[in-house]
Amino acid sequence: MRPPRESAKLGLSNAKPFPMRLLIPRPAWLAALLLLAACATTQTPPPEGASADALLLVSIDGLRADQIGSGAMPTVDALARQGVQAAAMIPSFPTLTFPSHYTLVTGLRPDRHGIVHNNFADPALGVFMSKRDSARDGRFWGGEPIWSTAEKAGIPTATMFWPGSEAEIAGQRPRHWRRYDGSLSPAQRVQQVLAWLDLPQAERPRLLTLYFDQFDVAAHAKGTFSPESMAALRAIDYALAQLLQGLDARGLRQHTNLLLVSDHGMADVRRENVSFLDDRLPAVDYAVSWHGQIAGVTPQPGAAARVEKALLGRHERYACWRKAELPARWHYGSNPRIPPIVCQADTGWRVQLRSHPVPPLLKGEHGYVPEDPQMHGVFIASGPAFATPRRIPAFDIVDLYPLLARLLGVTPQPNDGNPDTLLPLLDASEGPAR
Ligand code: AMP
Ligand code: ZN
Ligand code: ZN
């Protein structure tokens, strides 16, 4: 049995006041109780304005907005029906896993937080960051992720995977975290989250992340609606049902706000749909750092004019811009980690060099423009702060962060999000149903 909400706020979960109280004279047990409360409170000072509710941020990588309500995920569909569901969450540019996930937890656009792609070179540091290894190097990660802010406020946090969670950022790490291991099943990830929730009060996280990549992996290889992708969604959905049961069994369901999001959507592609930059200009004059939905081009010294003449502008299946001239709505192009020329492929296509391999199994992709509805992600909110079922319009991914900060009761760091998008939801759920 978990402690009731008020005693959890006081940090009294391990105290056993009642039987003791009968044996000890009143002033003594009162003093002991106050002392115990004071000690426990020092360990986990509740931040100002914070509610004691836990916040669980769940990401299903690549889940497309229109997959909610399709019946593929009955647990997720039920959460959407009973809570708040957005028509879509519009990803930042580029619509890739690392930039988007780090935007979710900072409220900063990739141009500002510095994770400008899944893999990139940092000219100042002279090093390359890849989502595989150097993701553990804190120097790449700008801004302050919500778990660092929470830890500074004395709120224990735990990350069951999340880009950025393996690095020390802003002098902090999540209290509990795991090295990324894609082989961990959805059920195993949920078991870890529940195990963290079983920790003693002082260590028990109040902000948790939970990340699922099984759908993304299957959809890339086999297609968005392939049997393999549907099986991945079923496995994730079943694990989420176990999570909800686990919360119920611990008496935590009514004290946990659950936000279910995705970083971007997914589009079906044909492997042979590739445009080659070197069909316009041989690659001796430039280097290409990103291949795929977005290509990054760096002209060789002295070759800039030639390269720009050949590549800038609209082509049959892609378009290229100088980084400073990218469409303003993408808020992208000022970061030194972005190559001088950026090419964006049309949905369904790749843009790259002929020498670059195309993945052998390729049926699904993202990385296309955020305006494309196929790239739109998911937002569902459920829990005590979202008691009134509501449908809200599509919103920009940067607007999630002010809600995270408010739900935790921490002061938001400077960010690109608009607090007016989601914070009114909280007023609505506290007031009469609309
Ligand atoms: P992408 O589809 O290329 O944008 O990247 C998604 C893939 O990144 C997932 O399918 C995982 O294999 C991998 N990935 C996700 N999170 C992490 C992480 N924290 N560390 C390393 N790799 C990750
Ligand atoms: Zn992703
Ligand atoms: Zn992916």
**What are 341's two structure tokens?**
């020329």
SS3 content of the chain, % helix, strand, coil (to 5): 40, 20, 45
How far apart are alpha carbons 260 and 60 in whole angstroms?
A: 8
Mutation pick for ligand 1 pocket among 59, 98, 350, 365 (CB with most ligand atoms within 8 Å):
98
Ligand 1 pocket residue status of 144, Cβ below 6 Å: no
Length of the chain: 434
Probe target for ligand 1 pocket from 116, 216, 229, 262, with the most ligand atoms within 8 Å of CB:
216
Is the shortest distance between the CB of 180 and ligand 1 below 6 Å? yes
| Mean pLDDT score, 357-375 | 97
Distance of alpha carbon 190 from its chain centroid, rounded? 17
pLDDT at 268 over 50: yes
Q: Is 124 exposed, middle or buried (0-12, 13-18, 19+ CB in 10 A)?
A: exposed
Residue-level pLDDT at 52: 67
User: What residues pair up with 44 in beta bridges, in sequence order?
Assistant: none
Q: pLDDT confidence of 429, banded at 50, 70, 90? A: low
Q: Express each pLDDT in 296-328 by its tens digit.
A: 999 999 999 999 999 999 999 999 999 999 999
Can you tell me the distance from the alpha carbon of 26 to that of 31, in angstroms, rounded to the nearest whole number? 9
Question: What is residue 354's DSSP assignment?
Answer: T
Give the mean pLDDT of 396-413. Answer: 98
Q: For residue 371, which of 267, 275, 218, 217 has the smallest C-alpha distance? A: 267
Catalytic residue among 44, 95, 97, 157: 97
Q: Which two tokens stand for residue 253?
A: 């369901």
Q: Which two tokens stand for residue 286?
A: 């430039």
Assess whether pLDDT exceeds 80 at residue 162. Answer: yes
Q: Which pLDDT score, from 0 to 100, does residue 182 have?
A: 96
Instruction: Please give the distance of CA 174 from its chain centroid, rounded to a whole number.
Output: 15
Residue range 6-20, pLDDT digits in tens: 222 222 222 222 232
The answer to whether residue 388 is catalytic is: no
Q: Residue 145: enclosing H or E segment and its boundaries?
A: none
Point out the least confidently predicted range of 96-100, 382-386, 404-408, 424-428: 424-428
pTM above 0.85, yes or no: yes
Q: What percent of the chain has pLDDT over 90?
A: 84
In degrees, rounded to 5, the angle at the alpha carbon of residue 229 between the alpha carbons of residues 81 and 238 is 50
Alpha carbons 349 and 113: distance in angstroms, whole number: 28
Centroid of ligand 3 to alpha carbon of 431 (angstroms): 40
| Residue 42 pLDDT grade (very low, low, confident, very high; cuts 50, 70, 90) | very low
Beta bridge partners of 365: 267
Question: Would you say residue 3 has pLDDT above 90?
Answer: no
Q: Which of ligand 1's atoms lies nearest the C-alpha of 263? A: 4
Asked if pLDDT for residue 49 goes beyond 60, the answer is: no
Regarding beta strands 318-322 and 341-345, do their DSSP bridges make them parallel or antiparallel, or are they unpaired? antiparallel
Rounded to whole angstroms, the Cα distance separating 399 from 424 reads 12
Position 135 confidence tier, pLDDT thresholds 50, 70, 90: confident
User: Ligand 1 within 6 A of 218 CB?
Assistant: no
pLDDT digits (tens, 9 = 90+) for 382-395: 999 999 999 999 99
Provide the 8-state DSSP code for 46.
P
Q: In the prediction, which pLDDT does 29 show?
A: 42
Contact 137, 162 (CB under 8 A): no
Which residues lie below 8 Å from residue 127, measured CB to CB, with a gap of 6+? Answer: 121, 134, 137, 139
DSSP class of residue 288 equals: E
- For the Cβ of 263 lying below 6 angstroms from any atom of ligand 1, the answer is no
The predicted pLDDT at position 339 comes to: 98
Residue 26 has pLDDT above 80, yes or no: no
d(CA 39, CA 148): 24
Residue with tokens 């968005």, as numbered in its chain: 224
Q: Closest Cα to residue 265, out of 47, 89, 42?
A: 89
Residue 327's identity, in one-letter code, is P
pLDDT digits (tens, 9 = 90+) for 61-113: 999 999 999 999 999 999 999 999 999 999 999 999 999 999 999 999 999 99
Eight-state DSSP code of residue 134? G
Cα dihedral across residues 67, 69, 71, 74: positive or negative: positive
Q: Which amino acid is at 403?
A: L
Q: At 24, is the pLDDT very low, low, confident or very high (cuts 50, 70, 90)? A: very low
Mean pLDDT estimate for the chain: 89
Would you say the CB of residue 161 lies under 6 angstroms from ligand 1? Answer: yes
Q: Are 153 and 47 in contact (CB under 8 A)?
A: yes
299 vs 404: CA distance, rounded Å: 41
Whole-number pLDDT of residue 131: 85
Whose atoms come closest to the Cα of 167: which ligand? 1
- Rounded Cα–Cα distance for residues 132 and 316 (Å): 33
Q: What is the rounded CA–CA span in Å between residue 317 and residue 290?
A: 17
Per-residue confidence (pLDDT) for residue 132, from 0 to 100: 78
Looking at the CA of residue 162, tell me the nearest atom of ligand 1: 19
Of 404, 411, 410, the C-alpha closest to 426 is 404
Q: Which ligand is nearest to the CA of 209?
A: 1
pLDDT of residue 152: 98
Residue having the nearest C-alpha atom to atom 17 of ligand 1: 163
DSSP state of 172: B
Centre of ligand 1 from the C-alpha of residue 131, in Å: 7
> pLDDT value at position 33?
39
What local confidence, expressed as pLDDT, does residue 143 receive? 98
pLDDT in tens, 324-357: 999 999 999 999 999 999 999 999 999 999 999 9
Confidence at residue 39, expressed as pLDDT on a 0 to 100 scale? 36
Q: What atom in ligand 1 is closest to the CA of residue 132? A: 21
**Mean of the pLDDT values across residues 147-162?**
98
Burial 171-185 (b: 16+ CB within 10 A, else e): ebbbbbbbebeeebe
* Domains of the chain with bracketed CATH: 5-268+371-430 (3.40.720.10), 273-358 (3.30.1360.180)
Taking the CA of residue 213 as reference, the ligand 1 atom at the shortest distance is 10
- Residue 134: predicted pLDDT: 67
DSSP calls for 174-226: -SEE----TTS-HHHHHHHHHHHHTS-TTTS-SEEEEEE-HHHHHHHHH-TTS
Q: Is the pLDDT of residue 208 over 90?
A: yes
Q: How far apart are the first and last CA of the chain?
A: 34
